[in-house]
């Protein structure tokens, strides 16, 4: 754990430079193979994937912290040399282009806060495969909870299937799930008047089922996930949760 944390701190401090797994392994005194294996065991992803996620998170922060930052300046500060590469990766991970993300944050922030007064939809099992999720939520938490099934152990794209609900509800049921193997990940955002708190999620509560779940046509499973404070080794939450909530509500309305 200590070696992984040291290497993550190094990535954050040198995010604008090319960093290799060999360099990180040398930094902590491990062989490249041993370091990469330990890193993935703890974080769920490879060092290269983690560094890419850190760069996207840094890009999000720069976009939301200024009304008119230079996209070119952002590229250089987070280690990209191509506008096309940055824009395509940003949209892949976050779900919107950099400009769309920047322009939508205030409206999406208001949308999430308006959701506070609405009754959360209760998902009922309709057709197999079925997965029931129960969440252990801190008693003092007040906010909105997101749960989804992801193809990887990092929420860096839209979930295969997901939902959102307020703290008044602590369970959900997914049904008619596409067959495959998924990671069940959860995040919880406290109600806030600061838009950054809904888009830069390094302080959000999070949870993860301890192993991947294989969904077959016969699956009818119950699991429990505990929400906790973030750890220094947790990968960034890149997916745009307010945008997912907006799309969920809009889809149900249609």
Please give the class, per CATH, of domain 2-95.
Answer: mainly alpha
Cα 213 to its chain centre, rounded Å, is: 18
Of 87-101, 187-201, 209-223, the range with the lowest mean pLDDT is 87-101
Question: Can you tell me the mean pLDDT for 164-185?
Answer: 93
Query: In the chain, which ranges are continuous DSSP H helix?
Result: 2-13, 21-28, 32-43, 47-65, 71-77, 83-94, 98-114, 196-199, 241-253
Provide the residue ranges of all domains of the chain, joining segments of one domain with +: 2-95, 112-253
What confidence category does residue 3 fall into, taking pLDDT thresholds of 50, 70 and 90?
A: very high
pTM here is 0.90
User: Taking 60 as the threshold, does the pLDDT of residue 123 lie above it?
Assistant: no
Question: Residue 183's pLDDT is what?
Answer: 96
User: Taking 90 as the threshold, does the pLDDT of residue 46 lie above it?
Assistant: yes
What confidence category does residue 32 fall into, taking pLDDT thresholds of 50, 70 and 90?
A: very high
**Is residue 195 within 8 Å of 227, Cβ to Cβ?**
no
**Is residue 219 within 8 Å of 131, Cβ to Cβ?**
yes
User: Taking 90 as the threshold, does the pLDDT of residue 177 lie above it?
Assistant: yes
Mean pLDDT over the full length of the chain? 90
* Angstrom distances, CA of residue 242 to CA of 145, 180, 188, 218, 223: 11, 26, 12, 33, 25
Q: Which fold has domain 112-253?
A: Immunoglobulin-like (2.60.40)
**Is residue 101 within 8 Å of 242, Cβ to Cβ?**
no
Question: Residue 13's pLDDT is what?
Answer: 93
């Amino acid at each position: 754990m200590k070696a992984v944390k040291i290497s993550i701190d190094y990535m954050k401090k040198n995010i604008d430079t090319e960093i290799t797994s060999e360099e990180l392994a040398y930094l902590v005194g491990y062989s490249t193979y041993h370091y990469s294996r330990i890193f993935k065991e703890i974080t769920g992803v490879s060092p290269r994937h983690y560094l890419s996620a850190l760069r996207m998170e840094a890009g999000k922060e720069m976009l939301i912290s200024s009304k008119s930052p230079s996209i070119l300046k952002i590229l250089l500060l987070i280690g990209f040399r191509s506008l096309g590469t940055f824009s395509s990766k940003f949209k892949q991970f976050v779900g919107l282009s950099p400009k769309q993300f920047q322009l939508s944050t205030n409206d999406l922030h208001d949308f999430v806060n308006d959701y506070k007064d609405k009754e959360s939809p209760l998902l009922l099992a309709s057709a197999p495969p079925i997965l029931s999720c129960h969440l252990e939520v801190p008693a003092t938490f007040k906010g909105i909870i997101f749960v989804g099934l992801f193809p990887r152990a990092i929420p860096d794209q839209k979930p295969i299937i997901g939902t959102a609900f307020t703290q008044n509800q602590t369970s959900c049921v997914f049904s008619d799930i596409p067959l495959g193997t998924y990671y069940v990940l959860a995040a919880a955002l406290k109600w806030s008047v600061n838009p950054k708190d809904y888009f830069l999620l390094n302080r959000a509560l999070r949870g993860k089922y301890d192993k991947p779940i294989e969904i077959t046509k016969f699956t009818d499973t119950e699991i429990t996930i505990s929400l906790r404070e973030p750890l220094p080794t947790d990968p960034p939450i890149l997916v745009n949760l307010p945008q997912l909530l907006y799309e969920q509500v809009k889809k149900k309305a249609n």
